[in-house]
Amino acid sequence: MRQEAQKAEGNVSTGMHFVLLGFSDLSNLQGFLFGAFFFMYMIIIVGNSLIIILTRLDPALQKPMYFFLANFSSLEICYVSVTLPRMLVNLWTQNRSISFLECATQLCFFLVLGATECFLLAVMAYDRYVAICNPLHYPLVMNQKVCVQLAVGSWVIGIPVQIGQTAQIFSLDFCASNQINHFFCDIPPIIKLACGDTSVHEMSVYIVAMLFVAIPFMLILASYSKIISTILKLPTASGRAKAFSTCSSHLLVVVLFFGSASITYLNPKSSHSALTERLLSLFYTIVTPMFNPMIYSLRNKDVIAALRKFLGKWVLLKVSPDEHMRLL
């Protein structure tokens, strides 16, 4: 760590490495943080994997809503795996050095998957809009071909733009320090290391954020304004409650993800403290992916029923034939 600090001064482009400070200011909590984040990572992997398995195996979940939910769970596993394993290694080994190329690769995947999440959340809102506002046309509008096209489009739409943005960010001159005061390579802390005028790059980040954050969010708001208007016109209270329950989980995830991401990326070189930026990023990189399986399963009767059926079959496979007959 002492050698890394000595190398902190000078041009990073020639040093070809960064130092991710992460939570180094909490030196007495490194073991606790490793255990806490490792536990969160396991919850994210197991919870989202279980949703993927359930949506694949249970016939009751063979619907567009759950097809997109499976895509979303797959995305969350990929999204959190871009940053969290590296952070766990840094906490365990206390070696926080990351090469220039590794940092650029991490940022690129993080941005691409972040863009995918924004558009996939918008697609899921559109799916709920069609289901609630045009139920008779729902099977025709959200057929298998359309669902696949929307899912694939969400996954690939951000690739060219985010590769270009990553290349632009790493074309900057880093002459002040190579110490990134963050737990992964993200745009705001990297821009802070650049010397010279970065206003053009900041404007570029702002424009891309408007395209990939603000536009999907506006589409979600438009969908939910129509959804809420339609729900309020339903004649029975039970019908309104059922319609709201199918949307509330998705809406909660939208608020958690877009709220924290917007504060960070719509002002890339803000006056926020490093601690505030780290806490905000924890929401959209770790906390939201961890709570997503709980939010969608605990508030969805179909998923709960599929989970009970799956666990029941798993228990029966584990017992002996005699015990099996006795349970029957």
Which sequence spans correspond to the domains of the chain?
2-327
- Span 282-309, mean pLDDT? 78
- At 274 the pLDDT is 66
- Span 122-145, mean pLDDT? 91
- At 314 the pLDDT is 61
Q: Roughly how many angstroms between the first and final C-alpha of the chain, as a whole number?
A: 62
Q: Which residue has the higher pLDDT, 287 or 27?
A: 287
CB 8 within 8 A of CB 177: yes
- At 43 the pLDDT is 92
Closest CA to 80 of 292, 251, 277, 284: 284
Q: Which helix H or strand E contains 233, and what residues bound it?
A: none
Calpha distance 75→81 (Å, rounded): 10
Mean pLDDT over all residues of the chain?
82
Say whether pLDDT at 112 is over 80: yes
Kindly provide the b/e burial profile for residues 146-159, where b requires at least 16 CB atoms within 10 angstroms of the residue's own CB. ebeebbeebbebbe
Closest CA to 154 of 84, 86, 79: 79
Say whether pLDDT at 62 is over 80: yes
Q: For residue 294, what pLDDT band results from cuts at 50, 70 and 90?
A: confident
DSSP string, 199-216: HHHHHHHHHHHIIIIIHH
pTM value is 0.84
- The structure tokens listed for 264 are 């960070």
Kindly provide the b/e burial profile for residues 16-35, where b requires at least 16 CB atoms within 10 angstroms of the residue's own CB. eebbbbbbbeeeeebeebbe
- At 8 the pLDDT is 41
The structure tokens 């070189």 sit at 269
- Span 133-142, mean pLDDT? 91
Burial environment of residue 114 by CB neighbours within 10 A (0 to 12, 13 to 18, 19 or more): buried
Residue 134 has what DSSP assignment? S
Calpha distance 141→134 (Å, rounded): 9
Can you name the CATH fold of 2-327?
A: Rhopdopsin 7-helix transmembrane proteins (1.20.1070)
Candidate from 197-201, 260-264, 281-285 with smallest mean pLDDT: 260-264
Say whether pLDDT at 135 is over 70: yes
Say whether pLDDT at 3 is over 50: no
pLDDT digits (tens, 9 = 90+) for 64-109: 989 999 999 999 999 999 999 999 998 888 888 899 999 999 999 9
CB 130 within 8 A of CB 138: yes
- At 321 the pLDDT is 52
CB 90 within 8 A of CB 20: yes
Say whether pLDDT at 110 is over 80: yes
Say whether pLDDT at 150 is over 70: yes
- The structure tokens listed for 225 are 């304004």
In degrees, to the nearest 5, what angle opens at C-alpha 302 toward C-alphas 297 and 304?
Answer: 45
Closest CA to 118 of 80, 75, 149: 75
Q: Which are the contacts of 104, defined by CB distance < 8 A and separation ≥ 6?
A: 166, 170, 185
Say whether pLDDT at 153 is over 90: yes
Helices 288-298 and 237-265 cross at an angle (nearest 10°) of 180
Candidate from 32-36, 200-204, 319-323 with smallest mean pLDDT: 319-323
Say whether pLDDT at 24 is over 70: yes
Q: For residue 159, what pLDDT band results from cuts at 50, 70 and 90?
A: very high
- The structure tokens listed for 116 are 């995918």
- At 163 the pLDDT is 93
Length of the chain: 328
- The structure tokens listed for 157 are 């739409």
